[in-house]
Homo-oligomer: A and B are copies of this chain.
Amino acid sequence: MRLNNLGEIGAIKKITQTLDIDSQKIIRGPGEDDCAVVRTNNEKLLFASDMLTRTRHLPKEMPYHNIGWTAVAVNLSDIAAMGGHPLFLTSSIGTPNITKEQLTQLTKGMNECSRKHDSYIVGGDLCQHREIVINCSIIGKPTKNTLYRDGANPQEYLAVTGQVGTAGLAAKTITGKHKLPEKVRKKAFKQLFKPNPRIKEGQYISKNGGTSAIDVSDGLLHSTKQLSNASKIGINIDSSKIPIDPEIKSSAKKNNIDIMELIDIGGDYEILFTTKKPNKIPENASIIGKTKEKQEVTIDHQKIDTTGYDHFKPENPKEN
């Protein structure tokens, strides 16, 4: 059996089965959450890594500055989804023979994004490769109420920060075959090419009754399913409450792009979370559903099926 048949989740499961864990030292281990949570001598730390490749994640239209920014942002988003404080990153860069100016733009993008969120690039690696591959790793400080995927209970509220589907529209229309008004195109590509990790929001949620969280980078419905599976509870989403930019929605409709597909493409680095306190959510967040006993994900009480973005299903129509 090969990875394409196993699928990404199956492969990650296979990996975690081969790894030893010491539950005294490792509070959250491989495959469990957006970050690992580990105990060093004196403190708890968040630790995560994300690899981006030109072919899979970094469209050729993406400027070097944005590549650097994004490589850091996706790691910060992992810290945000745990409600933590980012501290330090390493960045390993595999690159073809680019120019000095392109390299400078790349690392300036990394520096800007990390500094914006009070963290620093402290080291890494550099090697030659046939296409750009960047791996950033991050350590962060958890808050007292760390947000895990398995913390949701029935009778809580489901909410999401910002808006979803914006990056999805950019990913879906990147081939240039669709027609988008210039303003909408710019908005969509800004979201895809310069994601804004929700660090402050994550910290706010963790301090104000948040019970579980995940980032929706692999798609809203897919992430909802992950929260549901981890917490062993059900979730119903009210489709009318999903925060989608009206201009994005109308452009999608004009191009015959299904809205439900759009929000499940991923690329929006928003935080999906459950909370006991629907009145104490970040300003930019929206309540979009409720949790329940029966472990299933429904939209408007109809069961749905979603796989989100799966790296090992190249036949998956959602993949770019």
Contacts and interface: CB of A to CB of B under 8 A. Distances in A.
Interface string A239-253: 000000000000000
A56 interface: yes
A127 B3 contact: no
A93 to B, nearest CB: 8
A103 B45 contact: no
A254 interface: no
Given A4-B97, A97-B3, A22 B120 contact: yes
B38 A129 contact: no
A25 B120 contact: yes
A88 interface: yes
Contacts of A100: 1-3, 6, 11, 14
Interface of A: 1-4, 6, 8, 11-12, 14-15, 18-22, 25-26, 29-31, 35-36, 38, 40-43, 45, 47-53, 55-57, 87-88, 90-95, 97-100, 103-104, 107-108, 110-111, 115, 120-130, 133, 135, 137, 139, 141, 311-312, 314
A51 B92 CA distance: 6
A18 B121 CA distance: 10
Contacts of A57: 127
A92 B135 contact: yes
A269 B81 CA distance: 37
